[in-house]
Structure 1
Amino acid sequence: MDIRLLDYQSTTAAGQNIHQLRVAIDSQASGLRLNDLDRSDIDTWIGRVSGIEDIDLGPWQSRNNALAALGYQQGSIQENIDKLVSLYGAARLGVVMGSSTSSIDRTESAYLELEDGQLSSEYQQPQVHNPNAPSLFMTHLSGIRGPSMTINTACSSSAKVFATGARWLESGVVDAVLVGGVDTLCLSVLHGFDSLQLVAKNQCMPLDQNRDGINLGEASGFAILVKPDEKHQDSGITLLGYGESSDAYHMSHPHPEGLGARLSMQQALTMANLNASQIDYINLHGTSSRANDLIEGKLIESMFSSNTQVSSTKAWMGHTLGAAGITEALIAVDALQRGVIPGSLNLNELDHELSLSVQSANMSRNMNFVMSNSFGFGGNNCTLAFGKSGEKT
């Protein structure tokens, strides 16, 4: 498979765009803040993106859509989509979005302000109170008129957008695909995870012996996927392979032996025609929960050599749920581009049951191949493998 990334951008609490994210990573400056979400009194840290509240979208108004709009305006994503629409026609471009909550934040507000048991006119937004809202909004914003869909497989949602986008390109349905992910903080999410006793009082510490749970965050991310073509210059990064699996083991707990996670990693390696020893860096799902980090860490130890460096980057922006897949895939891609592996922030003492090649400090390293893991509730797993374009596998 040879699917190129034409462009990519990320918007998180750690940085509004890729440039700001690089600065945060290089300075190891976390974007987490003490919980200040309206109507929430949970003692925790969150990865909240500033300025979303000031974005007015009229009939499309929701926090989720506002963050998607903010992310789409970063860098040259919008400019490149406009060029591709001119080149191929709007019907030959597709949109695949990933989200776990869509615009549930807006629905929460609507129910808080019911008038005689009915939605007020301000909240009568059928295209917003909709599981497919992210895709509907992005087709509206971008002018893309080809196939569109929203994937909701919990925390693997926006990793799977790469797999779907690649299949569309390889089948000839489209000539380019805008893939993205967006999820925003809301009461349903924050208090839901707190009810599962997964939310940490401290800043999260992925892989650390003393980790006590996760921090939640919000993010949007976008990438443009194309086939190699002399008509446009890509970023020099290729999506080489992907793996998708479903444990169907438990609603919220990962399979104790990581069965589906192992399958997704092996599938990605096989499709990419790579041996595990060739992978230079893996961005782990690494949520900072006791179960996730231990199970994923044990799998990495059994499948990869000590030459493969790993880290979790969730302490920079929190666990961004449906946007985590694309956020962390793009961090891995950017690490490949820059030759800088992010450390595992807040790691002081590695879990005593693990012996991974991980450190808290960043590492400079020339790399050829990287991977990113995303494992969601219900056992929905996705692994992505990327390489430098032209690099032999």
Structure 2
Amino acid sequence: MSPLAVRAFTATSALGRGLEAHAAAIAGSRGGLAPNDFSTTALPCWIGRVAGVEDEPLPGEYAQWECRNNRLAWLTLRQDGFIDAVRAARERYGASRVAVLLGTSTASIGATEEGYRRLENGAMPDDLQRPAIHTPHSLAGFVADVFDLEGPCLTVATACSSSAKVFANAERMIRLGLIDAAIVGGVDTLCDSVLFGFNSLELVSGEPCRPFDADRNGISIGEAGGFALIERAVEGDTSPLFIGYGEASDAHHMSTPHPEGLGAELALRDALARAGIEAGDVDYINLHGTASQKNDEVEAALVARSFPATTRASSTKGFTGHTLGAAGILEATLTLLAMRDGVVPANLGARTPDPLCGPQMAWQSEQADLRIALSNSFGFGGNNACLAFARQGASA
């Protein structure tokens, strides 16, 4: 694949707003998880909540899109020069040549939940009779409206791999000449459906999650938003590069990964091949690492058998929680920051390493020259994605 430039990127999570807040948290190994204060009835767990979302409504011109998910999107778009970068791309290429390709797991379902809690004579209350928010496409529609874009507008909802798989969609559309640039990313916010749904599967931990710990007992759910602008790289470019991706579906079980990680391995091998690199070229892997029993078991074994000891690997979900459909873009952002700053994130939360983990695991933060990195995103139903990134001059 021809490398694409990551022209701008940004993220918001429990670690804070914008790139520097995330970089500082990673450098200081400071997590953002806190006891659950969000659900409408008590659920003893820890969450990664973004502070202040409820205090910042959308501007009046976007009133039809008003909901927590789009509020978080609006906060995130207005950071790190992202709006200016998109407007410049629109000016260069035209409104019909910039795509909006976004991933989400639950979209604005929190607003729909609220409507059902406040039914008026069996109907949605008047203030929530806004059809645009009661659909999985709410997020992408809102972002396209903000930038007045007319190009392809696509929502990907493949659970936890959603906002990783949009990178693949963007590459294909650019390569085929359908577009010249794409806004990729995703947003997922906390809601009862997510918290109690995962709890019903006995996947939610009563304490901060501990990825790859021998005694891990479940996930911590978080919320996040993130966006990147990608386009063809040009000579003299200094932007980080998106150099490859892999996708696979193992279709083993609705919520449990294949016991031998076959789909995950297919996605990994596909990403390496498309990027034109070998496993030994990879300096860092941001692991999916949810702290669930099966996911970490499968991923730890995959990394241990596939990469040399010099490759560093860690999960950042101990910092942010599992942000579901936003995990792909959030962890891609953290991967790009790790490469920029030469900081391998700690595998926060783990106290006793799982014996399946190999020497690749970085249990504490490390300084390293990170030229090429991967980011794994493995969703329910075996929706697996792996993204490959490189610094300028480092790709094969």
Range into which the TM-score falls when normalised by the shorter chain: over 0.9
Q: Which amino acid aligns with 1:273?
A: G
Secondary structure of the residue aligned to 1:253 is coil
Name the structure 1 match of 2:10. Answer: 9
Correspondence 1:243 to 2:246: yes
Aligned to 1:37: 38
Q: How does 1:93-242 map to 2 (within 5 A)?
A: 93-229=98-234, 235-242=238-245
Select the residue among 350, 355, 358 that pairs with 1:347. 350
Residue 24 of structure 2 corresponds to residue 19 of structure 1: no
Report the Cα offset of residue 354 of structure 1: 2.5
How far apart, CA to CA, are the structure 2 residues paired with 1:8 and 1:234? 15
In the alignment, residue 254 of structure 2 is paired with which amino acid?
M
C-alpha spacing 1:156/1:235, structure 2 compared with 1 (3 Å):
farther
CA contact (8 A) 1:5 1:235 kept: no
Structure 2 residue aligned with 1:292 = 295
Is the contact between residue 211 and residue 292 of structure 2 (CA under 8 Å) also seen in structure 1? yes
Q: Which moved more, 1:194-203 or 1:57-66?
A: 57-66
Give 1:235 deviation, angstroms.
5.0
Give TM-score, length-normalised by structure 1.
0.97
**Deviation, structure 1 residue 125:** 1.3
Contact 1:238–1:387 (Cα < 8 Å) also in 2: yes
* SS at structure 2 position matched to 1:127: helix
* Residues in 2 aligned to 1:199 and 1:161: alpha-carbon distance in whole angstroms: 27
**Percent identity for Structure 1 against Structure 2:** 43
Per-residue CA deviations over 1:51-105 (Å, capped at 9, x if unaligned) read 1102223221111111111111111110111111122211111100000001100
Match of 1:334 in 2: 337
| Matches of 1:365 and 1:354, distance apart in 2 | 20
CA gap of 1:392–1:48, structure 2 versus 1, over 3 A, is closer
SS in 1 for 2:131: coil
Q: SS of the residue aligned with 1:156? A: helix
Q: Distance in 1 between matches of 2:327 and 2:121?
A: 38
Q: Distance in 2 between matches of 1:205 and 1:214?
A: 8
Residue 28 of structure 1: aligned partner = 29
Give the corresponding residue for 1:265: 268
When residues 234 and 139 of structure 1 are mapped into structure 2, their CA distance, relative to the original with a 3 A threshold, is: farther
**3-state DSSP of counterpart to 2:16:** coil
Match of 2:74 in 1: 69
Q: Contact 2:307–2:360 at 8 Å: present in 1 too?
A: no
Question: Corresponding residue for 1:316?
Answer: 319
**Other structure's SS at 2:243 match:** strand
- The answer (yes or no) to whether the contact 1:347–1:359 under 8 Å persists in 2 is no
Q: CA deviation at 1:392?
A: 4.2
Counterpart of 2:255 (choices 246, 252, 256) is 252
Residue 384 (structure 1) aligned with residue 387 (structure 2): yes
Distance 1:329 1:303, change over 3 A: same
The superposition leaves residues 171-211 of structure 1 with CA deviations (integer Å, 9 ceiling, x where unpaired) of: 11111111111000000000000000000011111011121
C-alpha distance in structure 2 between counterparts of 1:250 and 1:203, whole Å: 26
Paired AA for residue 321 in structure 2 = G
CA contact 1:373–1:383 (8 Å) conserved in 2: yes
Q: Distance in 2 between matches of 1:340 and 1:111?
A: 46
Bigger shift: residues 254-263 or 122-131: 122-131
Instruction: Indicate conservation of the 8 Å contact 2:372/2:395, yes or no.
Output: no
Q: State the Cα RMSD in Å.
A: 1.2
Query: Structure 2, unaligned stretches of length 5 or more?
Result: none
> C-alpha separation between the residues in 2 aligned to 1:86 and 1:79?
10
In 2 relative to 1, CA 234–49 (structure 1 residues): closer, same or farther, beyond 3 Å? farther
Gaps of 5+ in 1: none
Q: Given the alignment, which residue of 363, 372, 376 partners 1:369?
A: 372
More displaced 10-residue stretch of structure 1: 148-157 or 298-307: 298-307
Letter in 1 for 2:8: D
